[in-house]
Amino acid sequence: MADAPYFIRTLGLTAFRAFLQPTTFDFSKKRCLAIFAPNGHGKSSMIDALEFMFSKDGTLERLGIRTSNNNAGIVALAHNLAKDAKLTPAVTIGFVTGKTVTSETRAAAGAKRSMPAIAASVYQCFAVSPIIRGYTLRTFVESHTPEQRYADIATWLQLGPLVDLQKNLRALRSQVKAAAEDLTAQKRVDAQFATETANSVPAWDAAAALAHVNTIVLAALDKSLVLKALDVSDAAYTDLSHRAKAEEHQIGLAGLRVTRQAAAALFNEIINEETGATTLSGAVPVFEGAVAGLSKAVATEADERGKAANASFQALWKAVEPFFTEDSPNLANCPVCTTPIAETTAGSADGIRAHIAKHLDELADYAVAKAALDEANAAVSRARLRLLGALPGLSGLLADADGAVKMEIEGYQAAVESWSNGKAPTSTAIIASISALLSQINAKIAEIEANQGEHTYAKAKAKLDRLLELQSEHLLAARSQQELEKLSNALIIQATTISGEIRKKVQALLDTLQKPMNDIYRTIQGPGAAPIRFELPAEDDTNQQRLSLLIDFAGNRPGVQPGGYLSDSQIHSVALALRLAAIKQFNKSAPIIALDDIVTSYDADHRRTIAALIATKFSDCQILITTHDERFFNYLKDQQEVNNWQFTRVIRLDPTHGPCFADHKVSDEMIKARWDGGQSAANEMRQAEEEWLLKICREFGVSLRIRALERAYSYERGELASALASFLKEAKLDPQPVAGVNNRFLASLQKGEIENFGSHFQDGPYGDGSIGDERARWDEFKAFRAQFSCPKCKRTKFQRPITLKKPICAHGGCEAQFEFLEIPALILAEGSV
């Protein structure tokens, strides 16, 4: 921050909000400003310019970035006639700190509206926004939650890091506490343990787990095998591991069942218990049955083939069959060889039909035999492939002790592979070997099932390993929860200590703000006003990030919310006092305060009190005030130091210019600029004439008829010129004639023919004025205006005390009586007429 405070030196608005034409507020000589204007005259646009300049988004809070809901968006920053006037909406601001003066401009239209560097530097000095608007004052008091108030105050007090620390501590405490209370891991262990024990034990219990292993898992294998503890170092666990490893080299129950299934896939005898009949199944019987079926099919096909030697006759008969149907006419000759039917062996068509039917039956029997042969060949092929696939399966499962059986299988397999036709390879030996093997396997399975059922040492070890793993997980979860509980308790202690220290710091800083706030509040509301206090939560409250705004309204109403008990003006005063105190306390590097219509809720006495408050307590600040309350405006003029304050009022809102201030004058340069742009300046001329007439009439103290209430302060040019002429005549002050004007110029000024031609609609097609006429008329006016100068010091400001008949020079060192000097020839500024 700068050593010397920042103050606004200049503020310029161009095509911004209500201001169309460029307007600059100069604070180089008097740094404080008060503007009075009725509602709707654009006075708040000056405060809007400040808010816009210090806005990160380059907009106003109530406008927003985009047009949505009640927001007008950034398009509302620019004056609606900016484009027509060929003006670029912008705000220019100048700052002074010590002897350093800096000025920068911020565009108020388009996407790029970045904050100027000097504005950003000054913005960093604002812990509290310097802009106070009447309609938003009550928000902090009535609408904000305790958490929002705490955040606001913490920002004002520059406690951001401490607030972040509180937030982080609170979040960490919540996370650790939640983790300490989270029983998900334990519940998962309980659920898995219940599954492992077939729901006989619903939750983890080390003793119950040990009992389950000994009575259910190990006892089925060997009752002498007993665990003393669920630990891998237990002797029973070591013994179980050895037995499980040895079991891997033996054929267990599952292996025996697989071997039995593989043997039964080759050959098996199934005895019907009711009938005693034996049924053979397996690949070997199927293959032999298929081979036998093939032999039978071959013989049948050979027999039927001889009977159907003339099978080619079938095709010939298909061709001539339509001619020998019972319904067809009797033919005289054969349709194939033209032999007379009567001379054939059959002798007639009926005989031919009977002969053909016999041969066709023989062909049908052959077709059936041929199809049976093809199916038998296919069945043999399928059975052979199935057999060749099943033989290696059983051979691979047999142990070395079953070498004889393996040799039988290999020999039979070789015979099957080399077989192509004829009788099937003999299977007597392999069937005997498989039958013997099945008997042995069934005996072993029965023995194992009788002793241990489905239990094996490998399964028992796997079950025990899972329980040991669950025990480890349970111990880890329990240990983690214990450590988290310790950490949570430690965090509570640390957080309580840290929050307590932060609380003391915040409370101490709140006390520094609370006293000046109450001083301001009592100044506005009177010494009997009950004090307002900031109250933090109790020290044992875990959430310290809350701030209550309380008042002891009465003996039986202590510590209540102001919004529920104070009047409208009192609530307004609380909010105003808080903001003013905060700005004065924390914005010392940029003591700027902008007040926009802040006295809406006050009566006359309170408005005067606030004006006095500003004069006495904020004389070291730069105050910018806009108000529609004329009484408050007059109170400010009455009580503020003249050397430090400038006062002005908006007399009207000109759509083509913007707010027109009482001290705003149409200059000669403005009129010339209109002509140089090829435009008529008739409106500006008429306005300039009215402004000069009003000024000189006020200074000369002329008499005017009191106007109707609707236009109490609005005087037309003609009225002013007539009143001035009457005063001059009565005071025997006679101005010199203006060259080119034969009648008295004031009489011409009353009519304003040239100005009216250029500014009013004319019925005649050639009735409008010209720029040449306007130039000549303006030169005449300047020649007349130049006569109103002090005869001694040549100044143009006058006054007429009530005791004098003639005005005098307003300069304190002169005060010469006004007289029109006899000037032989008037020198005009831009030529003569």
Say yes or no: 737 and 627 in one domain: no
Q: Residue 828 pLDDT > 60, yes or no?
A: no
Say yes or no: 328 and 438 in one domain: yes
Q: Residue 510 pLDDT > 70, yes or no?
A: yes
Say yes or no: 75 and 24 in one domain: yes
CA distance 244 to 379: 46
Number of CB atoms found within 10 A of residue 198's CB: 9
Tell me if 347 is assigned to some domain.
Answer: yes
Reported pTM: 0.54
Tell me if 60 is assigned to some domain.
Answer: yes
Q: 760-789, pLDDT tens digit by residue?
A: 444 444 555 578 888 888 888 888 898 999
Tell me if 827 is assigned to some domain.
Answer: no
pLDDT at residue 333, rounded to an integer: 73
Mean pLDDT of the chain: 81
Say yes or no: 228 and 300 in one domain: no
- The total number of structural domains that make up the chain: 4
Say yes or no: 322 and 461 in one domain: no
Q: 149-172, pLDDT tens digit by residue?
A: 777 777 666 666 776 777 788 788
Say yes or no: 399 and 302 in one domain: yes
Sign for the pseudo-dihedral over CA of 639, 641, 642, 647:
negative
Which residues make Cβ contacts (< 8 Å) with residue 777, sequence separation at least 6?
Answer: 685, 754, 755
pLDDT at residue 625, rounded to an integer: 95
Reported as type and span, the H/E element at residue 647 is strand 645-654
The CATH number linked to 107 is: 3.40.50.300
Say yes or no: 634 and 751 in one domain: no
pLDDT bucket at 20, cuts 50 / 70 / 90: very high
Say yes or no: 259 and 239 in one domain: no
pLDDT at residue 450, rounded to an integer: 57
pLDDT at residue 408, rounded to an integer: 83
pLDDT at residue 753, rounded to an integer: 67
Last residue of a domain, one of 614, 640, 664: 664
Mean pLDDT of 78-100: 93
pLDDT bucket at 826, cuts 50 / 70 / 90: very low
Tell me if 578 is assigned to some domain.
Answer: no
Say yes or no: 102 and 35 in one domain: yes
More confident residue, 699 or 812: 699
Tell me if 511 is assigned to some domain.
Answer: no
Q: Residue 459 pLDDT > 60, yes or no?
A: yes
Say yes or no: 637 and 716 in one domain: no
Say yes or no: 210 and 359 in one domain: no
As a whole-number percent, the residues of the chain with pLDDT over 70 amount to 84
pLDDT at residue 69, rounded to an integer: 73
Tell me if 148 is assigned to some domain.
Answer: no
Mean pLDDT of 690-717: 79
- Domain assignment of residue 681, given as a range: 668-809
Window from 182-186, 200-204, 310-314, 671-675 with minimum mean pLDDT: 310-314
pLDDT bucket at 451, cuts 50 / 70 / 90: low
Tell me if 206 is assigned to some domain.
Answer: yes
Using a 10 angstrom Cβ sphere, with 0-12 exposed, 13-18 middle and 19 or more buried, the burial of residue 816 is: middle
Which residues make Cβ contacts (< 8 Å) with residue 304, sequence separation at least 6?
Answer: 362, 365, 366, 368, 369, 370
Mean pLDDT of 180-186: 87
Tell me if 39 is assigned to some domain.
Answer: yes
Say yes or no: 32 and 109 in one domain: yes
Q: Are 581 and 520 in contact (CB under 8 A)?
A: yes
Last residue of a domain, one of 630, 664, 698: 664
Contacts for 301-309 with beta carbons within 8 Å, 24 or more apart?
301/366, 301/369, 301/370, 301/372, 301/373, 303/369, 304/362, 304/365, 304/366, 304/368, 304/369, 304/370, 305/366, 305/369, 307/362, 307/365, 307/366, 308/362, 308/363, 308/365, 308/366
| Vertex 796: Cα angle to 793 and 800 (nearest 5) | 95
